[in-house]
């Protein structure tokens, strides 16, 4: 049933759709997807491919829109996340479709974009101390009327939500079967829609999940042969931003763990990517890569990006 | 591989999520889904189930929100449609998940919610004469600044878009394979994201697709054994709204076609439902049903709704 091609999981950073300085029109988002999707279509000749993606700017835009309009009931964050899975899933799938058509293989290659929700632990300490800022900035007067957790920033008040650890991907069983059937699967958008399980029921929670950590959980569950975190940086570097900055090309687990301890990878940017890849490599012994979106193919060939190995 | 249970395609009307008079909060939408999803979960014991759904009110809400906010780039209608597939797909899937959990079968039953786009013909005459009103109402002054096709109504100006005929469901091949594997498949939300194919590329178009017609295309493609259109009406009635109004319980194709000709089923409400079911029954010879959301199980058993037969 399966042709046993190795499995490649690619986690696309937010800039695969909206690049720095862009407002994020639909045209920009489709245009930005061209190069990553061409590479992924090419790679699908040799690999069974799973694609995950971020959703930060898209969630921000939807929150801003719903705050601007009192006529329509506001949707909770989990539903906003679901909307971005629809939006981005469609954009990725149709861009991939175009790339596969250009290669003349769209008829034989199956691909789907799935709604995915991810279980988090309701006792996760992150819920006690929400730290992830999302959505628009508020004036003090606006903030006083809001029931959200808020944080004061230079630009005004901002809502903060928890970023709990992803525990399990609900659709994992289905995703595995689809990979077995050689489907390209687009899933786990924005790290997944966060839900908690209470008795016989999943309930959405007001939280966001780090998409690299969720992708790492999925990569381990499906036993990916290669896990790639692709964004707008070339790879992981030590002494980032200093004159002696040095890109790591191939680095063993013990060495990169030392760099983590020494604080080389800041929280909120490279930190989660490095942790996500470390967890994957530690658990599977397989290849874990951090690379630029333009270098996905090169990094699979071993000539770009940062590869973490055992 | 398949247990060869018969295939049941259920097209859920918009009121499966937002009922008349409701604003459409997330809580309302989840609550409304309870009863339909309980029935569908029960039916999944004996049938392989495919679920499609409308998205009219949700599209309206998103359009209103994006019109209220100038800070964020406005998304084209096709992307708005994709967002609602994410939102509603998640709501349906997680409600179904809860219902399956209550039956204790969520572990063995696979289910997925898929992004779906649907090809329309760029030469469809509907594009020459857009008739489907969507989104908010505008004053004359607001309308003068807009580049949309507009229609004047009692409550102000309103945008109109084309409602072209659905030609083919792009993910049909994948959906068939999933049904074969006994997955419950949620797809074709809002009739699908409308795209046209130009050479080697699909492009989204500013249009909406009738979800009953698209569901009928899908029901024929997958050769469903039963095709059900479920909404807030008991079934198709002749002399609707008159003292002699009469619900049709079981009606043969030639008879219902006479009623269509005689204008018993108004465009924009019962008309498309009846046409969708007629096309299905004519093409497959299988059972086609129009029923109330509360009567899905009963209508499968043959004791509620309107059944059209050859």
pTM value is: 0.96
| Distance, CA of B123 to CA of B274 (rounded, Å) | 25
Interface contact flag, B79 A90, Cβ < 8 Å: yes
Span B259-281, mean pLDDT?
Answer: 94
Q: pLDDT (tens digit, 9 = 90+) per residue, A133-146?
A: 888 889 999 899 88
Backbone angles phi, psi at A146, to 5 degrees: -95, 145
Question: Scanning every residue of chain B, which has its alpha carbon at the shortest distance from the alpha carbon of A193?
Answer: B90
Interface contact flag, A90 B111, Cβ < 8 Å: no
pLDDT band at B1 (very low <50, low <70, confident <90, very high): very low
Instruction: Say what the pLDDT of residue A146 is.
Output: 87
Nearest to A115, CA basis, from A187, A209, A66, A31 = A187
CA dihedral of residues B128, B133, B136, B139 (deg, nearest 10): 70
DSSP per residue, B194-210: EEEEETTEEEE-SB---
Interface contact flag, A72 B65, Cβ < 8 Å: yes
Q: pLDDT (tens digit, 9 = 90+) per residue, A169-220?
A: 999 999 999 999 999 999 999 999 999 988 888 899 999 999 999 999 999 9
Span A5-34, mean pLDDT?
Answer: 94
pLDDT band at A1 (very low <50, low <70, confident <90, very high): very low
Question: Scanning every residue of chain B, which has its alpha carbon at the shortest distance from the alpha carbon of A204?
Answer: B94
Domain positions in chain B are 7-224
Interface contact flag, B98 A201, Cβ < 8 Å: yes
% of residues, chain B, pLDDT over 70: 99
All residues of chain B having their beta carbon less than 8 Å from the beta carbon of residue A73 are 23-26, 61
Interface contact flag, B68 A64, Cβ < 8 Å: no
Span A57-71, mean pLDDT?
Answer: 93
Mean pLDDT of chain A: 94
The set of residues, in sequence order, having a beta carbon less than 8 Å from that of B48 and lying 6+ positions away, is: B2, B5, B6, B7, B8, B179, B182, B184
Q: pLDDT (tens digit, 9 = 90+) per residue, B174-232?
A: 999 999 999 999 999 999 999 998 888 889 999 999 999 999 999 999 999 999 999 99
Q: Does A14 qualify as catalytic in the annotation?
A: yes
Distance of CA B46 to the CA centre of its chain: 23
Interface contact flag, A82 B84, Cβ < 8 Å: no
Q: Does B242 qualify as catalytic in the annotation?
A: no
The set of residues, in sequence order, having a beta carbon less than 8 Å from that of B192 and lying 6+ positions away, is: B81, B116, B117, B118, B166, B169, B209, B214
Span A149-171, mean pLDDT?
Answer: 93
Distance of CA A201 to the CA centre of its chain: 26
Q: Find the CB nearest B83 among A71, A76, A87.
A: A87
CATH of domain A7-224: 3.40.1160.10
Secondary structure class of A175 (helix, strand, coil): helix
All residues of chain B having their beta carbon less than 8 Å from the beta carbon of residue A196 are none
Q: Does B155 qualify as catalytic in the annotation?
A: no
| Distance, CA of A165 to CA of A212 (rounded, Å) | 11
Predicted complex ipTM: 0.95
* Joined tokens for residue A21: 């300085």
- The three-point CA angle B45-B51-B54 to 5° equals 150
- The three-point CA angle B263-B266-B268 to 5° equals 145
| Distance, CA of A56 to CA of A227 (rounded, Å) | 21
DSSP per residue, B164-225: PPP-EETTHHHHHHHHHTT-EEE--GGG-EEEEEETTEEEE-SB---HHHHHHHHHHHTT-S
Task: List, in sequence order, the alpha helices (H) in chain B.
Answer: 26-43, 56-67, 77-102, 140-144, 172-180, 211-221, 253-261, 270-284, 296-301
pLDDT band at B3 (very low <50, low <70, confident <90, very high): low
Are the beta carbons of B157 and B144 closer than 8 angstroms?
A: no
| Distance, CA of A163 to CA of A128 (rounded, Å) | 10
Q: pLDDT (tens digit, 9 = 90+) per residue, B224-249?
A: 999 999 999 999 999 988 999 999 99
B177 in contact with A, Cβ within 8 Å: yes
Mean pLDDT of chain B: 94
Question: Scanning every residue of chain A, which has its alpha carbon at the shortest distance from the alpha carbon of B115?
Answer: A113
B61 in contact with A, Cβ within 8 Å: yes
- The three-point CA angle A285-A289-A291 to 5° equals 180
Q: Does B268 qualify as catalytic in the annotation?
A: no
Query: Max Cα separation, chain A?
Result: 61
Q: B2 pLDDT exceeds 70?
A: no
């Amino acid at each position: 049933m399966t042709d046993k091609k190795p499995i490649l999981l690619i986690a696309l950073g937010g800039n695969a759709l909206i690049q720095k300085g862009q407002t994020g029109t639909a045209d920009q988002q489709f245009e930005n997807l061209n190069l990553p999707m061409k590479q992924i279509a090419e790679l699908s000749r040799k690999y069974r491919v799973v694609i995950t993606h971020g959703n930060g700017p898209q969630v921000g835009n939807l929150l801003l829109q719903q705050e601007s309009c009192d006529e329509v009931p506001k949707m909770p964050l989990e539903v906003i996340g679901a909307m971005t899975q629809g939006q981005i899933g469609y954009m990725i799938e149709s861009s991939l479709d175009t790339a596969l058509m250009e290669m003349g293989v769209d008829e034989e290659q199956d691909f789907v974009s799935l709604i995915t929700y991810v279980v988090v632990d309701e006792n996760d300490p992150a819920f006690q101390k929400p730290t992830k800022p999302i959505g628009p900035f508020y004036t003090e007067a606006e903030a006083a009327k809001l029931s959200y957790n808020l944080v004061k920033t230079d630009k005004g008040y901002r809502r903060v939500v928890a970023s709990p650890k992803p525990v399990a991907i609900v659709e994992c069983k289905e995703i595995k079967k689809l990979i077995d059937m050689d489907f390209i699967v687009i899933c786990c958008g924005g790290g997944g829609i966060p839900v908690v399980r209470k008795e016989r029921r999943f309930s959405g929670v007001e939280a966001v999940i780090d998409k690299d950590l969720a992708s790492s959980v999925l990569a381990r569950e499906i036993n990916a042969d290669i896990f790639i975190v692709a964004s707008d940086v070339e790879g992981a570097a030590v002494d980032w931003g200093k004159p002696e900055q040095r890109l790591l090309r191939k680095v063993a687990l013990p060495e990169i763990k030392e760099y983590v301890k020494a604080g080389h990878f800041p929280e909120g940017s490279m930190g989660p990517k490095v942790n996500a890849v470390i967890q994957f490599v530690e658990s599977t012994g397989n290849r874990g890569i951090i690379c630029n979106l333009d270098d996905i193919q090169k990094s699979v060939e071993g000539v770009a990006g940062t590869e973490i190995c055992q």
